């Protein structure tokens, strides 16, 4: 068996795997930001796109169910990066890959961030921590650990600016109900499971205040 076939056979996939790639303002070739993430990024992507467009900066996104250890994620990133020159990569991936424990997630995250840094050395880089899940206490605790690992990895890998998206949620948590911050369930203000999620324009504003994006928008 070839090495690539072995890798594919060892992958742990979700029941439904999906990928959404878009390049906005496709006819223009100016400055462009790539948002990499999952349904959370799909939720705030349009707002970020609109705010950046005001500054003559174009946006693309890669939103996917692929977990941080899935080799297909790199293939999707390579494709998303191949169509237009990108000046900044915004990376947010923490709500998939529940087969990974704290150690294996931290290892996979470090490998991914190092790969992005080395593969696209000319890009400015932003790492966003994961918004909290209220589907279960286990996921809630794991996301806290993943965010801690993410912050530590950013310090070790360097070059990545940091955005703490988990700070956009408010305690307390009630695990009797659950929801996630998804593109199809966003509104100006809504509550779920005792946790209040801020609206997507607030998320977009936080992203735009990041040091790395402010460099691009000058």
pLDDT (tens digit per residue) in 38-90: 888 887 788 788 878 887 889 999 999 999 999 999 999 999 999 999 988 99
User: Could you state, in order of their start, the residue ranges of all structural domains in the chain?
Assistant: 3-169+200-217
Tokens of 70: 């899935």
pTM score, whole prediction: 0.78
Q: What is the CATH number of domain 3-169+200-217?
A: 3.40.50.1110
More confident residue, 142 or 181: 142
pLDDT tens column, 88-97: 899 999 888 8
E-state strands within the chain: 19-23, 32-37, 58-64, 88-91, 124-128, 160-163, 169-170, 190-192, 195-197
Place of tokens 């297909």: 72
Q: How far apart are CA 64 and CA 94, in angstroms?
A: 11
Task: Report the pLDDT value the prediction gives residue 54, as an integer from 0 to 100.
Answer: 81
Taking the C-alpha atoms of residue 145 and residue 162, their distance in angstroms, rounded to an integer, is 16
CA distances from 206 to 1, 44, 114 (A): 47, 11, 25
pLDDT over 70 (residue 211): no
- Taking alpha carbons only, the member of 143, 156, 126 closest to residue 37 is 126
């Amino acid at each position: 068996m070839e090495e690539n076939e072995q890798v594919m056979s060892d992958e742990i996939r979700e029941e439904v795997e999906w990928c959404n790639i878009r390049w906005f303002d496709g006819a223009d070739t100016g400055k462009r930001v790539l948002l990499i993430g999952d349904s959370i990024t799909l939720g705030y992507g349009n707002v970020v796109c609109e705010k950046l467009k005001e500054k003559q900066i174009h946006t693309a996104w890669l939103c996917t169910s692929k977990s941080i250890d899935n080799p297909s994620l790199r293939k999707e990133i390579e494709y998303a990066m191949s169509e237009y020159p990108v000046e900044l990569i915004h990376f947010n991936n923490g709500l998939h890959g529940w087969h990974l424990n704290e150690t294996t997630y931290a290892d996979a995250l470090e490998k991914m961030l190092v790969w992005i840094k080395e593969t696209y050395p000319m890009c400015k880089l932003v790492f966003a921590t994961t918004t909290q899940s209220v589907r279960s206490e286990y996921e809630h605790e794991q996301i806290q650990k993943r965010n801690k690992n993410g912050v530590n990895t950013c310090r070790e890998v360097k070059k990545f600016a940091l955005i703490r998206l988990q700070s956009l949620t408010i305690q307390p948590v009630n695990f009797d109900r659950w929801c996630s911050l998804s593109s199809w369930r966003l509104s100006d203000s809504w509550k779920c499971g005792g946790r209040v999620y801020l609206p997507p324009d607030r998320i977009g504003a936080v992203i735009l205040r990041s040091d790395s994006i402010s460099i691009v928008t000058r």
